[in-house]
Structure 1
């Protein structure tokens, strides 16, 4: 398994993976989660998207965005068939290494409050809740980790 940068030809497969990974949250939130609405062609053009898998086949998507003083872990989506195998954790570790490589001492993220298993995963990797807020009609939990 490898982590590689996404290419323009990956957009349709990324969209499909994100949609299936987040579909179960739509009834809980009452609308599609933010990652289902992202413009992945633009994110790929901005060099923000990584894929986890083998060759052209991938099982997970990672989106990282540089901010002034931290790296934002914007999205991790693991396909349902690949969940529970440690791939999300591997991508978190990759994001942390990328943050260090780029000179950041902190990584941040946010998630919807109904995504409890994701919150637990992030906490197991050393992230701490910094605050909660309602933004863009989503009830979000913000977390960070000092590196």
Structure 2
């Protein structure tokens, strides 16, 4: 799974973006029950924490082989449904300021920018 996550972000690194360790904390997140995978051979990975009333979307990554197949959308819908089912009423996330397509996607899906902190764009949405 770490390889899938790292590979999903590699095109951004190839463009010169400096990103944090995007697969860091994976083992801890798995142990905490905060990781979900689509596919026997993983096509996508979701990392999310829920501490009602808040949920935190930590990471969504889709393999290059599955790009354009709706895997990311399935993961986002699952995240929203799971957060609601666990009693959360709000979901937050952070994305990179130099990946404007992520900001635009999340805005399209109902998130709003709540703050900017260095390279991070902080966003949240009501559930």
TM-score w.r.t. length of structure 2: 0.90
**Which residue does 2:17 correspond to in 1?**
29
**Which residue does 1:141 correspond to in 2?**
121
Q: Deviations over 1:13-65 (max 9, x none)?
A: x01101110112224323x43313x1322211111100012xx2120000011
Cα offset, 1:89, TM superposition: 1.3
Q: How many residues align?
A: 126
CA distance in 1, matches of 2:79, 2:126: 13
Cα offset, 1:68, TM superposition: 5.4
- Runs of 4+ aligned residues of structure 1 deviating over 4 Å after TM superposition are none
Cα offset, 1:70, TM superposition: 0.7
Say yes or no: does 1:97 pair with 2:81: yes
Matches within 5 A, 1:1-147: 14-27=1-14, 28-30=16-18, 32-36=19-23, 38-53=24-39, 56-67=40-51, 69-134=53-118, 139-147=119-127
Q: Is the 8 A contact 1:48 1:65 kept in 2?
A: yes
Unaligned runs of 5+ in 2: none
Q: Is the 8 A contact 1:50 1:62 kept in 2?
A: yes
Q: Is the 8 A contact 1:26 1:33 kept in 2?
A: no
CA distance in 2, matches of 1:142, 1:93: 19
